[in-house]
Amino acid sequence: MKVVVLTGAGISAESGLTTFRDSGGLWEGHDPMQVATPEAYADDPGLVQRFYDARRAALDTVEPNAAHHALARLEQALGDDLLLVTQNVDDLHERAGSRRVHHVHGSLRSAWCTACDARREWSGPLAEGPPCPGCGSTSLRPDIVWFGEIPYGMDVVEDALESCDLFVSIGTSGLVYPAAAFVHWARGDTLELNLEPSAGATDFAESRQGPATVLVPAWVE
Ligand code: BJW
């Protein structure tokens, strides 16, 4: 049985990472959604770098939860028949034991040098403008897909959805494309697991409501 699982911010909420649209909170007086754009970065790179530096540092304070662990067990059971696609830029799936995580919106643990185009693992801050270890320029930005940029590895996701038996969407509001359209690309059965019905809930064959730490282990077992 070929399964594609998509995760969003809701799966990490119970680990202590705030979601984008539930919190309604501001960061240094800015809507997080206004910070996650190339235009915001061009206008004020320091502000955007501090936003991501803070989120990168926060990763060290949180742990994967029961939902991340359940998906790692699912990978052990299904092997190559599972494609785990995440919109999240945290590393909680990997720390729960998932070996093959497809990060379509990039990763906080990676920096991208726009001068030499290299991407490399990164754990410290970027706001101070550290030199790129490869070319020495100070052109490192978070390796994150912002609005208007092209998500990573969409060909792999599209192929997997077109040949899957089941697509499961977990903890995402269904407001951001292309992930919001995956339910339409999926050939097989479709299931949503979310705290509340998402914007696309009625497009799924089944939609279950509740916290991810309850719904995901129950679905996997
Ligand atoms: C729980 C829970 C618990 C809470 N348990 N659940 C008009 C129409 C259609 C499209 C567009 C349009 N105008 C522009 C576009 C395109 C645009 C887009 O979608 N805009 C929309 C706003 C309309 N998209 C893009 O620009 C994308 N690129 C693109 O389309 O390129 C073209 C292309 C595509 C494909 C092939 C080739 C070319 C890029 C999108 C980049 C998104 N980037 C961000 C920020 C960067 C990452 C970061 O900083 O972390 O990614 S935006 C932000 O939203 C982040 C997230 O990954 C993403 C999705 O959010 P998510 O995960 O759904 O979180 P929330 O907060 O919205 O929802 C959480 C959910 O969890 C809620 O439902 C809760 O109820 C639930 N929940 N606790 C279970 N305990």
Instruction: Note down the domain range covering 220.
Output: 1-17+64-105+151-221
The answer to whether the CB of 20 is under 6 A from ligand 1 is yes
Q: Are 183 and 198 in contact (CB under 8 A)?
A: no
Atom number of ligand 1 nearest to Cα 36: 45
Q: Number of folded domains in the chain?
A: 2
Q: Which of 30, 102, 105, 184 is catalytic?
A: 105
| Percent of the chain with pLDDT strictly greater than 90 | 92
Please provide residue 4's backbone torsions phi and psi, each rounded to the nearest 5 degrees: -115, 125
Confidence of residue 216 (pLDDT cuts 50, 70, 90): very high
The answer on 101 and 72 residing in a single domain is yes
Q: Is 102 a catalytic residue?
A: no
The answer on 210 and 170 residing in a single domain is yes
The answer on 70 and 161 residing in a single domain is yes
Specify the CATH number for the domain of residue 206: 3.40.50.1220
**Per-residue model confidence as pLDDT tens digits over 8-65:** 999 999 999 989 887 666 677 788 878 999 999 999 999 999 999 999 999 999 999 9
Q: Are 96 and 67 in contact (CB under 8 A)?
A: no
Which residues belong to the annotated binding site? 8-27, 52, 55, 87-90, 113, 116, 132, 135, 171-173, 194-196, 212
Give the global pTM. 0.97
- At residue 20, the pLDDT reads 86
* 192 vs 30: which has the higher pLDDT: 192
159 pLDDT more than 80: yes
The answer on 121 and 92 residing in a single domain is no
